[in-house]
Structure 1
């Protein structure tokens, strides 16, 4: 599993931005950023679990492995994480 061209750092620790709320839905979840007023959709439950578990792991790579994201489908999930980071839904947890 490698960071795709998105530039997302798999070896960094990530978490939801403090101004982001996650609301579970039957299709996955909604993320709402109260600062930017952006809305994002997580379209499957594995992605929801992955995002929710990020703070529990030393880095995003470990969170992906714990969520059973393997090399065959990692690019989809890493790209989604990168998009969430670019939209400030996710921030590095220093």
Structure 2
């Protein structure tokens, strides 16, 4: 078991010139089908975030539009915490 202070994180950037609604719709359907529930965040126009409990940790899955080294695309990130986290996920969302 990882120490309670450990916060695992993984992320991936995908190059895409597509419309944001195309990939967010895909991930929204997939996340909800797998038991993730949407999290209310400040700027839903740029990021979408979901949460669920996984083996005692609170996990967050976020999908958002990004520009990396001048390349347009979107990122998918997942992180989790065994500690207390704010309802909106705070920095984990």
Q: Fold conserved (TM > 0.5)?
A: no
Q: TM-score, normalised by structure 2?
A: 0.30
Q: Which has the higher strand share?
A: 2
Q: Which has the larger radius of gyration?
A: 2
Q: Which has the higher helix share?
A: 1
* Higher relative contact order, structure no. (Cα contacts within 8 Å, ≥ 6 residues apart): 1
